[in-house]
Chain A
Amino acid sequence: MFDISLVRHLPKDTTVPFIKVRLIAMVLSILAIIASIFLFTTKNLNYGLDFKGGTVWEFHLTESPTDADLTAIRALGPQLNLGELAIQTIGQTDKDKVQAIRLSVSKQEALEGDENDDRAQQVALRSIQAAVVEMYPEVDNTENTLSVQVLGTKVSGELKRKGAMAVVLALMMVLLYIWFRFEWQFGLGAVIALAHDVILTIGVFSLTALEFNLAIVAAILTIVGYSLNDTVIVYDRIRENLRKFKKKPLDDVLNLSINDTLSRTIMTSMTTLLALTALYIWGGPGLNGFAFAMIWGVFVGTYSSIFVAAPVLLLLGVNRAGPQK
């Protein structure tokens, strides 16, 4: 029978000295965290409509828009007193289809905190739609609209608060669970690793200025889940090996455990990356940002389980007298 089973040819007992390079990894991680925080405080995030409020209208003309079209439409902003319009064309995977235009009316400064912010947004949408229809009589508000999104300050503010709360809440629950199942050092170690992942993900979004919206918050929480999955597998093996090799120094036990689980770590990362790559390439524009965040998260999450979560135990120390469970 034709049977490849590549796994048989993989080395069985790897002895990569992960723990030896922990200082380099630590410096690297700390630098990356500092850079992320620096970027976040200076450059902030490119918040999407979900968190910023505003109006986005996606529509298409009967033909793909030319540069002249885009300039003319952009000029509508100042004409209608709506400030600067952000305008971009959205590529279509289907060659037969015309490119769509994504038009964002940024929320005007004057509207900030205004009670009637919601109403003003709707007025802005109506006026911009009317103006475009007047310029291109063949455009029909209903037929040519791909999507409309209008979000007031109040709702977007709530979403932002809720999103941040979700991440913090998830981290706390996880800390409690790991504490309950392992020991407090493990719980703290896992949460440090997760915080590391979350901060670096926010950092990369700040750096690339990719749109940060609700889907990205979902991605961050999933990264938390994924990274934790990895960390728990390594921790579980550490616990087992601590019991098995009572005399072995802690750093050797950590290194052994990471190596024991290494092939599983690599396999799972591979399959997850396979699925995510498919999502990134073929999943359509709506899921692009999410897929990007997740791909990044798989790398960071895997790195942090090996180079952050395990070495942290060395710093915190583990009670080896009698790990209860």
Chain B
Amino acid sequence: MLHFSRWKITLILGAIMVGLLFAMPNVMSKDVREGLPWPLPKQTLNLGLDLQGGAHLLLEVDLKDGVEKTLKSELAGMRAALREERISATLRIKDEAFFVTFKNDADAETGAPIIRKQSVPVDANAIGGGGKTLDIEKLDEHRYKITVSEENIQYISDRTIEQSIQVLRKRIDPTGTTEMTLAKEGSERILLQVPGAKDVDELKARIAKTAKLGFHEVEVADSVVLQLCVEDGQCPLGKVAYPQRNGQGYMMVLDREIVTGADLKSASEGLHPQNNYPIVNFKYNARGARKFCDFTATHVGEPFAVVLDGEIITAPNINGAICGGSGFIEGSFTMESAKELSLLLNAGALPAKLDIAEERTVGPELGADSIQAGKIASMLGLGGVFIFMWITYGLRFGTFANIALATNIILIGGALSLLGATLTLPGIAGIILTIGMAVDANVLIFERIREETSNGRGPINAIDTGYRLSLAPILDANITTLIAALTLYFVGSGPIRGFAVTLSIGIVMSVFTAVVVARLMTSTWLRRARPKKLPI
């Protein structure tokens, strides 16, 4: 156990050097760090949001809405397909399915294949064909139950989340310069982390708005019809009522938009040419310009409504055909809100509503306090353990253990930097805990050496036996602790994972430093000093 070949020594020292190189940038000032010559690593530990301050938001995507919309459009498609073949059937939506009931046997016979044909592969490019979009269940001779298939729901959900992430990225970071994390989390959530975010309220406002913009044809309705629609939800087919921003009650409009936010090319805030109040200027894309031109040409003298997220922000009259491909929205904006709306319009509408399921915001002040407290606690903890080990095992073996411990801390720092791991507040706790627990392996070895000495073995023999017999219990004890730490990593979330990471790395490094590094020191000392009696 005490012999080290030359290449082994080189390897051990090399490993420590690499650890040191990766750990070093963490204690350098920024200028020194930036000035490091090429091959030297510059990266430092990533600080978690709880340490550097910032916003952590877990957003829940409302996926039901998308599935419902798909169901509705599938129903419309099927109705059209059946009508084309002149098959009489009634289609009714109920809960998360719709039912097709054929009039008679003949219709059922010709209709069934048409229904089946509506279910197409979810993803035409998928290898092996993938699943179909619809599940079709035959209830009896004339009745079919149709639901959106599991695969399709999955596909819609994935796409919705994907699109939401893209829109959010454009909204929160229009210039592409903000450092942030935006990623899918689980099956229906999006994780958004913005380090150092100052104005969380503004951030939340950008998430909360769907920014669904649409120009609608206004339908003149008498007050009874309007009231029935608003209060009981019994609206005439294809029409809806929205509240007006100016507070003048509800207005009825056609459900179908003339143009939508998707037909816009760009938007920007500006001032009204005559009255000098804030407005939002926009440009249509080619398709939008044509559609709006056609509409305004045929509806001169009538009003149209600009609807944003279920609210009519303005309803101007059409004075003549508008074919220039641009226009503006006025609606009692402030300069701020006009700017905000143009940003949202440029980023596009969210495909689904987002709810904040979890918010953890930490101000920079608190984060700095936590780091400070962590530094003090680890320094004092480390100092305490150092002194304890010196007093207990004397300067010789105490120093061996303490150098091993110091190496351990350096290696943890190096490994965390190398892995690009994130240091969190619980992660600091993990490091401090490691400081206390890491000497365990050395204590175990030293105690064994003492025991073997009292059994009458000479120094070299006692140390050799001590290391040899301690190896199995050290490995067993640390592997079991590692199991607990790894379980925590895979089941835990957020900052707790940081704890699991530092603890796991600490455990692995403590075994290396105690069993390998301290043994190297002991054997070197033994060879040089050839002691007759051990100082422990």
Point out the residues of chain A lying under 8 angstroms from B382, CB to CB.
275
Bound form: Cα–Cα A286–B388 in Å: 27
A215 shortest CB reach to chain B, Å: 6
**B484 lies within 8 A of A279 (CB):** no
Give 13 pairs: A residue, B residue, CB < 8 Å, sorted on A.
A58-B366, A141-B201, A146-B363, A147-B362, A170-B483, A170-B488, A225-B485, A267-B439, A271-B389, A275-B382, A276-B436, A277-B384, A281-B377
Point out the residues of chain A lying under 8 angstroms from B479, CB to CB.
177
A291 at the interface (CB under 8 A from B): yes
**B391 lies within 8 A of A4 (CB):** yes
B359 at the interface (CB under 8 A from A): yes
Digitize A282-304: 1 where CB-to-B-CB distance is under 8 Å, 0 elsewhere: 11101100110010000000000
A30 at the interface (CB under 8 A from B): no
**5 closest A-B pairs (Cβ-Cβ)?**
A5-B394, A275-B436, A284-B373, A278-B381, A272-B436
Digitize B187-212: 1 where CB-to-A-CB distance is under 8 Å, 0 elsewhere: 00000000000111100100000000
List B residues 446-497 near A (Cβ within 8 Å): 446-447, 450-451, 454, 469, 472-473, 476-485, 487-488, 491-496
**Besides A152-B358, A278-B378, 5 other CB < 8 A contacts?**
A7-B392, A146-B365, A174-B480, A177-B479, A218-B499
Point out the residues of chain A lying under 8 angstroms from B17, CB to CB.
none
A185 shortest CB reach to chain B, Å: 16
Main secondary structure of the interface of A (DSSP, over half): helix
**A279 lies within 8 A of B429 (CB):** yes
* A162 and B535 contact, Cβ closer than 8 Å, known pairs A5-B394, A226-B437, A236-B473: no
* A147 and B484 contact, Cβ closer than 8 Å, known pairs A267-B447, A274-B381, A284-B369: no
Bound form: Cα–Cα A7–B50 in Å: 42
* A283 and B373 contact, Cβ closer than 8 Å, known pairs A236-B473, A294-B433: yes
A254 shortest CB reach to chain B, Å: 16
Closest chain A residue to B353 by CB distance?
A: A119
List B residues 385-403 near A (Cβ within 8 Å): 385, 388-398
Bound form: Cα–Cα A178–B481 in Å: 12
* A273 and B436 contact, Cβ closer than 8 Å, known pairs A145-B363, A148-B200, A268-B443: yes
A127 at the interface (CB under 8 A from B): no
* A226 and B481 contact, Cβ closer than 8 Å, known pairs A273-B436, A279-B432: yes
**A174 lies within 8 A of B394 (CB):** no
The residue from A1, A163, A225, A237 contacting B481, defined by CB atoms under 8 A apart: A225
**A232 lies within 8 A of B377 (CB):** no
Point out the residues of chain B lying under 8 angstroms from A221, CB to CB.
484-485, 487-488
**A270 lies within 8 A of B388 (CB):** yes
Point out the residues of chain B lying under 8 angstroms from A236, CB to CB.
472-473, 476-477
B515 at the interface (CB under 8 A from A): no
Point out the residues of chain A lying under 8 angstroms from B204, CB to CB.
122
B356 at the interface (CB under 8 A from A): yes
Point out the residues of chain A lying under 8 angstroms from B527, CB to CB.
none
Digitize A236-257: 1 where CB-to-B-CB distance is under 8 Å, 0 elsewhere: 1100100000000000000000
List A residues 1-28 near B (Cβ within 8 Å): 1-8, 12-13
* A170 and B492 contact, Cβ closer than 8 Å, known pairs A154-B60, A287-B428, A287-B429: no
Point out the residues of chain A lying under 8 angstroms from B395, CB to CB.
1-3, 5
A173 at the interface (CB under 8 A from B): yes
**A218 lies within 8 A of B426 (CB):** yes
A143 shortest CB reach to chain B, Å: 8
A70 at the interface (CB under 8 A from B): no
B58 at the interface (CB under 8 A from A): yes
**A271 lies within 8 A of B436 (CB):** yes
B272 at the interface (CB under 8 A from A): no
Bound form: Cα–Cα A232–B201 in Å: 52
**A6 lies within 8 A of B392 (CB):** yes
A214 at the interface (CB under 8 A from B): yes
B120 at the interface (CB under 8 A from A): no
Point out the residues of chain A lying under 8 angstroms from B357, CB to CB.
118, 151-152, 154-155
B40 shortest CB reach to chain A, Å: 32
**A279 lies within 8 A of B491 (CB):** no
Closest chain A residue to B507 by CB distance?
A: A225
**B380 lies within 8 A of A232 (CB):** no
A43 at the interface (CB under 8 A from B): no
Size bracket of the A interface: 35 or more
Point out the residues of chain B lying under 8 angstroms from A150, CB to CB.
356, 358-360
Point out the residues of chain B lying under 8 angstroms from A93, CB to CB.
369, 373
List A residues 129-183 near B (Cβ within 8 Å): 141-142, 145-152, 154-155, 159, 162-163, 165-166, 169-170, 173-174, 177-178, 181
B241 at the interface (CB under 8 A from A): no
Report which A residues bind B (CB closer than 8 A): 1-8, 12-13, 58, 93-94, 116, 118-119, 121-122, 125, 141-142, 145-152, 154-155, 159, 162-163, 165-166, 169-170, 173-174, 177-178, 181, 214-215, 217-218, 221-222, 224-226, 228-230, 232-233, 236-237, 240, 260-261, 263-264, 267-268, 270-279, 281-284, 286-287, 290-291, 294
Point out the residues of chain B lying under 8 angstroms from A142, CB to CB.
198-201
Bound form: Cα–Cα A146–B477 in Å: 40
Point out the residues of chain A lying under 8 angstroms from B483, CB to CB.
170, 173-174, 177, 225
Closest chain A residue to B387 by CB distance?
A: A274
B370 at the interface (CB under 8 A from A): yes
* A5 and B536 contact, Cβ closer than 8 Å, known pairs A149-B360, A279-B377: yes
Point out the residues of chain B lying under 8 angstroms from A284, CB to CB.
369-370, 372-374, 377
**B492 lies within 8 A of A162 (CB):** yes
B36 at the interface (CB under 8 A from A): no
* A282 and B200 contact, Cβ closer than 8 Å, known pairs A12-B454, A159-B493, A162-B492: no
**A282 lies within 8 A of B377 (CB):** yes
**A274 lies within 8 A of B385 (CB):** yes
Point out the residues of chain A lying under 8 angstroms from B377, CB to CB.
278-279, 281-284, 287
The residue from A152, A215, A282 contacting B373, defined by CB atoms under 8 A apart: A282
**B355 lies within 8 A of A7 (CB):** no
B223 shortest CB reach to chain A, Å: 31
B315 at the interface (CB under 8 A from A): no
B425 at the interface (CB under 8 A from A): yes
Instruction: Name the residue in A1, A5, A165 with the highest tally of chain B Cβ atoms < 10 Å from its Cβ.
Output: A5
**B447 lies within 8 A of A290 (CB):** no
Point out the residues of chain B lying under 8 angstroms from A260, CB to CB.
451
* A3 and B480 contact, Cβ closer than 8 Å, known pairs A268-B437, A275-B433, A287-B428: no
A139 shortest CB reach to chain B, Å: 13
Bound form: Cα–Cα A24–B432 in Å: 35
**B476 lies within 8 A of A147 (CB):** no
B347 at the interface (CB under 8 A from A): no
Point out the residues of chain A lying under 8 angstroms from B372, CB to CB.
284
Bound form: Cα–Cα A272–B60 in Å: 41
Closest chain B residue to A236 by CB distance?
A: B473
Point out the residues of chain B lying under 8 angstroms from A277, CB to CB.
381, 384
* A283 and B374 contact, Cβ closer than 8 Å, known pairs A1-B395, A7-B393, A236-B473: yes
Point out the residues of chain A lying under 8 angstroms from B388, CB to CB.
270-271, 274
A236 shortest CB reach to chain B, Å: 4
Bound form: Cα–Cα A61–B536 in Å: 57
B503 at the interface (CB under 8 A from A): yes
**B484 lies within 8 A of A224 (CB):** yes
Closest chain B residue to A275 by CB distance?
A: B436
A188 shortest CB reach to chain B, Å: 15
* A264 and B488 contact, Cβ closer than 8 Å, known pairs A3-B396, A178-B480, A271-B385: no
**A146 lies within 8 A of B366 (CB):** yes
Instruction: Name the residue in A148, A273, A282 with the highest tally of chain B Cβ atoms < 10 Å from its Cβ.
Output: A282
Closest chain B residue to A164 by CB distance?
A: B491
A77 shortest CB reach to chain B, Å: 20
Point out the residues of chain A lying under 8 angstroms from B314, CB to CB.
none
